C-alpha cells in the first residue's frame, strides 16, 4: 500500500506534458542585410553600448530620458501590467500544489417528536475539526502544468512589452529633443536673416528716395522681409510645440535650463548592426512574439490533456464529538479519503473544437512572429540605407552652404558698390537662407535616422533575456 501511494505521488508531481515540442520558426528574412550603393559597409561586430547612456552623449538629453523613465505614464502602465500578469501566474502556479486547510464547524439541530420515534423532541449537537486537502487535481497528463507554463510565458511576454514601451519612449524623447534643438537653430538662422533683410530694406528705401532703384526692387526687398518674418513666427510656434511634446513624454516639469549640444556635434553613437539573426534576441517585440508563440504551444498541451481522465483527491483527518469539550478526547478521531475520477465520454465535440482553436491560435502566433521578424529586418535595412545616404547628403548640403555663402558675400559686395542691382543680392540672400535651413533639416533627419536605427536594433540589449523552455531552431 505504501509503495503504490508513493508511485501515485511521483506520477502526480512529475506528470507528463502533452504540449508539442517547440521549434522556433525559421526567420523569413535573408541571412544578411542588403548591399548596394545606398548602403554603407555593415559592421557585424558586437555592440559595446549596454543601454541608451552609451548611445546618446548630450547631457541635456540624458537628463530628459532619466526623467521620462521615472515619470512617463505609459511606461508606468506597462510596468503595472507586468506585475498584474505576474500575479496571475502565481495564482495559476498555485494549482500545482494541494491546498491544505484547517476547518472547524459546529451544529445544533432540533428533531421534532414525530421524527424521533420516542415521542419526545431531541436536540442533537455535533462539533468537528478537520485538516486536509480538497479536490486536488492529480496532474497526470500535464494539464495544470501546461496552464501554468502558459501563464508564465504570458507574464514574460508582458515584460517584453514593457521593454518595447521603454525603448520607444527613449527613442521618442531623443527624437523630440533633437527636433526641438533643430527648431531652435532654425529660429536663430531666421532671426539673423531677418536682421539682414531689414537692413537691406532700409538701404533700398533710401536708394528709392534718391531715385537710384526702382519700385520693383523695393517691393522685392519688402517681400523678403515678410517671408522671413513668417518663418520666424513658424519656428517660434514649433519650438513651443516641441517643448509641450517633451513635457508629455517626460511626464514632469521640464528643467528650467537645458543647455544642449549643437546638432553638428556627435549626438548619437553609431551602433554596429550585427547579423539579422541577432535581432531575434535583441528586439523586445520579437522576443515578446516568441513568448506569445510559446504560450500558445503550451495551451495546446492543456487542450490535449482535457481528453484524458481527470483525477482529483479529497482527504482530511480530524475529530468529531457531540460536545465541544470532547473534541480531543480518545475515540473522537475521524478521517476521509475520497478520490474522484472523471472521464469525458460525450461533449458534442467541444474538446475537439477547443484543441482546434488552440492549434489555430498557435498558427496565428507563428504568423505574427514571422511578421515581427520581417518588420524588424526592414527597419534595420532602412536605417542602414539612411545612415549611408544621409552622410553623403549632409556633406553635400554643407558644401552647398559654403558655396552659397561665397555667392552671398560676392553679391553683397557688388550690390553695395553699385555693380549689381539689389535683385541679385536678394536672390543670393534667399539662396543662403534656404541652404542653411536645408542643412539643419538634413542634419536633423540624419540624427533621427540614427535614433530610429538604435530602436530598430533593439536599443541597449545587454540586459535582454531570450525565451525560456529550451527553444530550438
Please write the tens of the pLDDT for every residue from 298-327.
999 999 999 999 989 999 888 888 777 767
Residue 441: the pLDDT is: 94
Q: What is the mean pLDDT of the chain?
A: 85
Banded model confidence at residue 112, pLDDT cuts 50, 70, 90: confident
- Cα–Cα distance, 220 to 362 (Å, whole number): 68
Record the cell numbers describing residue 341, joined without a space.
475520477
- CB distance 421 to 213 below 8 Å: yes
- Cα–Cα distance, 319 to 332 (Å, whole number): 5
Domains, in order of start, for the chain: 14-97+141-307+347-463 (1.20.1600.10)
Would you tell me how many other CB atoms lie within 10 Å of the CB of residue 102?
Answer: 10
* Phi-psi domain of 279 (left: phi exceeds 0; alpha: psi -120 through 50; beta: other): alpha
Return the closest-CA partner of residue 426 out of 187, 203, 186, 191: 203
Provide mean pLDDT across the span 63-92.
Answer: 93
According to DSSP, the residues that pair with 132 across neighbouring strands are 101, 316
Which has more pLDDT, 308 or 118? 308
Return the closest-CA partner of residue 81 out of 147, 149, 145, 165: 165
Helix, strand and coil content of the chain, in percent to the nearest 5, comes to: 65, 10, 25
User: Considering only 59-68, 151-160, 208-217, 359-368, which range has the smallest mean pLDDT?
Assistant: 208-217
Banded model confidence at residue 467, pLDDT cuts 50, 70, 90: low
Residue 42: the pLDDT is: 58
Banded model confidence at residue 11, pLDDT cuts 50, 70, 90: very low
Which has more pLDDT, 99 or 220? 99
363-376 pLDDT per residue, tens: 999 999 999 999 99
- Cα–Cα distance, 57 to 174 (Å, whole number): 11
Banded model confidence at residue 189, pLDDT cuts 50, 70, 90: very high
pLDDT exceeds cutoff 90 at 241: yes
Residue 230: the pLDDT is: 95
Residue 12: the pLDDT is: 46
Return the closest-CA partner of residue 142 out of 11, 265, 283, 253: 11
pLDDT exceeds cutoff 60 at 100: yes
Percentage of residues of the chain with pLDDT beyond 90: 45
Kindly report the pTM of this predicted structure. 0.84
Return the closest-CA partner of residue 184 out of 147, 137, 235, 149: 235
According to DSSP, the residues that pair with 122 across neighbouring strands are 111
pLDDT exceeds cutoff 90 at 217: no
Amino acid at each position: 500500500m505504501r509503495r503504490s501511494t508513493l508511485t501515485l505521488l511521483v506520477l502526480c508531481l512529475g506528470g507528463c506534458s502533452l504540449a508539442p515540442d517547440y521549434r522556433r520558426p525559421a526567420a523569413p528574412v535573408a541571412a544578411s542585410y542588403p548591399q548596394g550603393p545606398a548602403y554603407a559597409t555593415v559592421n557585424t561586430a558586437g555592440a559595446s553600448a549596454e543601454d541608451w547612456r552609451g548611445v546618446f552623449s548630450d547631457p541635456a538629453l540624458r537628463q530628459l530620458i532619466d526623467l521620462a523613465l521615472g515619470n512617463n505614464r505609459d511606461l508606468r502602465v506597462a510596468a503595472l501590467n507586468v506585475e498584474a500578469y505576474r500575479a496571475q501566474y502565481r495564482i495559476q502556479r498555485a494549482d500545482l500544489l494541494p491546498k491544505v486547510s484547517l476547518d472547524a464547524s459546529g451544529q445544533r439541530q432540533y428533531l421534532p417528536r414525530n421524527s424521533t420515534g420516542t415521542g419526545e423532541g431531541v436536540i442533537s449537537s455535533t462539533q468537528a475539526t478537520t485538516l486536509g486537502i480538497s479536490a486536488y487535481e492529480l496532474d497526470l497528463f500535464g494539464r495544470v502544468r501546461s496552464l501554468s507554463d502558459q501563464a508564465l510565458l504570458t507574464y514574460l511576454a508582458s515584460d517584453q512589452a514593457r521593454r518595447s514601451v521603454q525603448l520607444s519612449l527613449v527613442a521618442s524623447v531623443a527624437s523630440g529633443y533633437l527636433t526641438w534643438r533643430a527648431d531652435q537653430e532654425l529660429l536663430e538662422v531666421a532671426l539673423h536673416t531677418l536682421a539682414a533683410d531689414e537692413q537691406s530694406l532700409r538701404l533700398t528705401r533710401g536708394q528709392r528716395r534718391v531715385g537710384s532703384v526702382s519700385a520693383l526692387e523695393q517691393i522685392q526687398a519688402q517681400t523678403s522681409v515678410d517671408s522671413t518674418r513668417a518663418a520666424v513666427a513658424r519656428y517660434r510656434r514649433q519650438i513651443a510645440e516641441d517643448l509641450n511634446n517633451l513635457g508629455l513624454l517626460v511626464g514632469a516639469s521640464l528643467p528650467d535650463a537645458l543647455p544642449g549640444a549643437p546638432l553638428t556635434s556627435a549626438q548619437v553613437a553609431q551602433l554596429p548592426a550585427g547579423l539579422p539573426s541577432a535581432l531575434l534576441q535583441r528586439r523586445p517585440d520579437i522576443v515578446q512574439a516568441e513568448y506569445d508563440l510559446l504560450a500558445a504551444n503550451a495551451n495546446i498541451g492543456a487542450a490535449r490533456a482535457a481528453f484524458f481522465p481527470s483525477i482529483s483527491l479529497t482527504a482530511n483527518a480530524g475529530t468529531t464529538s457531540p460536545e465541544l469539550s470532547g473534541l480531543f478526547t480518545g475515540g473522537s478521531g475521524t478521517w476521509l479519503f475520497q478520490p474522484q475520477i472523471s472521464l469525458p465520454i460525450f461533449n458534442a465535440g467541444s474538446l475537439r473544437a477547443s484543441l482546434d482553436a488552440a492549434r489555430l491560435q498557435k498558427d496565428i502566433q507563428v504568423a505574427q512572429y514571422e511578421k515581427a521578424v520581417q518588420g524588424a529586418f526592414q527597419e534595420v535595412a532602412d536605417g542602414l540605407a539612411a545612415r549611408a545616404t544621409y552622410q553623403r547628403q549632409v556633406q553635400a548640403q554643407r558644401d552647398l552652404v559654403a558655396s552659397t555663402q561665397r555667392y552671398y558675400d560676392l553679391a553683397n559686395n557688388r550690390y553695395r558698390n553699385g555693380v549689381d542691382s539689389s535683385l541679385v543680392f536678394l536672390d543670393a540672400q534667399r539662396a543662403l537662407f534656404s541652404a542653411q535651413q536645408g542643412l539643419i533639416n538634413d542634419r536633423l533627419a540624419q540624427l533621427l535616422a540614427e535614433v530610429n536605427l538604435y530602436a530598430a536594433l533593439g536599443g541597449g540589449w545587454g540586459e535582454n533575456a531570450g525565451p525560456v523552455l529550451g527553444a530550438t531552431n
